[in-house]
Structure 1
Amino acid sequence: MILGMSVGTFTTLHVIISLIGILAGLVALFAMIANRRLDGVTALFLVTTVLTSVTGFFFHSKAIGPPHIVGVISLVDLAIALWALYGRRLAGAWRPAYVVTAVVALYFNCFVGVVQAFAKLPALNALAPKGTEPPFVAAQGVTLLVFVLLGYLAVRRYRPAS
């Protein structure tokens, strides 16, 4: 049991929150690239991404491992993004700081999504059962490159009206 839910139910809730965060994050990212500000979608992305990281800590584990480290880094990153957006209102250097931290938070969610896809989907797991094989590394490399490119475009183009 986790928070009064079966592990399966809690896992499903965690995955749903994660997927909402990824979808909202992608919409917010493409809006930034188009120099559009979508306050509601952005708030949904940030809230669900924080919830994804926080709920990840409730899963039982025997030791601190990579998921915990990614979760802590993600929460620190999200704190900076939230401060840049709501505390500093994207003024000056806080605009690119927000864009970079928002893109990094979305990347972390997608990075974990790729890990989980290779672990849970039989077709992908057959290609990389240990998570270290070339198909897995290639998928993570492509994911990283896509986010670097999209992040660069967002930093260059996102100039919301004050």
Structure 2
Amino acid sequence: MEPVLPLTHPFTLFHTALSLVAILAGLVVAKGLLRNQAMPGWTSLFLSTAVLTTATGFLFPFRGFTPALGTGVVSSGVLALTLIALYGQRLAGPWRAIYVIGAMVSVYLNVFVLVVQLFLKVPALHALAPTQKEPPFGIAQGLVLVLFVVLTVLAVRRFHPRVEATAPAPVRNPS
């Protein structure tokens, strides 16, 4: 069993701080999606810190392909689609749902990693699941997954931002 080490390296602290800001901002954005509120400032903070969290995650030393790298690759793809949907396609048509799903999956992935880190670094949780193959870890991750699936479905149904009219209003027949 590896010892549980404190988060003391400056780069690790920076990456962790980015991740926590991304999670908190992402939860605010998720709340906005559920309330049909766009929240552009929070969205910008969330997406920028989520991108930076993912990017800095690739800078840690790795030996071979790890679950952390796999999560980073998935997160990169999800964030790319989310950014395209919001800024490139302006949430038009199916891009609204792609944005909502991407934003929610991005928050979920950060929370997923948070749960992993909590079970690694918090002694009481580490004692419950030292290899992260024990039921308490699986239950925690399962609950997080179910919660995000439900919230994502609700957010897709509820988030319908106003779209500025780009076509002239139809002409009515004067008869």
CA separation in 2, counterparts of 1:65 and 1:112?
13
CA separation in 2, counterparts of 1:91 and 1:112?
31
Correspondence list, 1:17-96, <5 A = 17-96=18-97
RMSD: 0.8
Question: Aligned-pair distance for 1:88?
Answer: 0.3
Structure 1 residue ranges without an equivalent (≥5): 1-6
Question: Aligned-pair distance for 1:126?
Answer: 0.5
CA separation in 2, counterparts of 1:9 and 1:81?
30
Paired residues, number: 156
Identity over aligned pairs, percent: 51
Question: Aligned-pair distance for 1:54?
Answer: 0.5
Question: Aligned-pair distance for 1:61?
Answer: 1.5
Question: Aligned-pair distance for 1:37?
Answer: 1.0
Correspondence list, 1:147-158, <5 A = 147-158=148-159
CA separation in 1, counterparts of 2:63 and 2:135?
29
* Partner SS, residue 93 of structure 2: coil
Structure 2 residue ranges without an equivalent (≥5): 1-7, 164-175
Counterpart code for 2:79: L
Question: Aligned-pair distance for 1:12?
Answer: 0.3
Task: Give structure 1 regions of 4+ aligned residues with deviation exceeding 4 angstroms.
Answer: none
Tell me what 1:120 maps to. Answer: 121
* Partner SS, residue 91 of structure 1: coil
Question: Aligned-pair distance for 1:25?
Answer: 0.2
Question: Aligned-pair distance for 1:33?
Answer: 0.3
CA separation in 1, counterparts of 2:97 and 2:104?
10
Counterpart code for 1:151: T
TM-score with structure 1 setting the length:
0.95
Counterpart code for 2:27: L
Structure with greater Cα Rg? 2
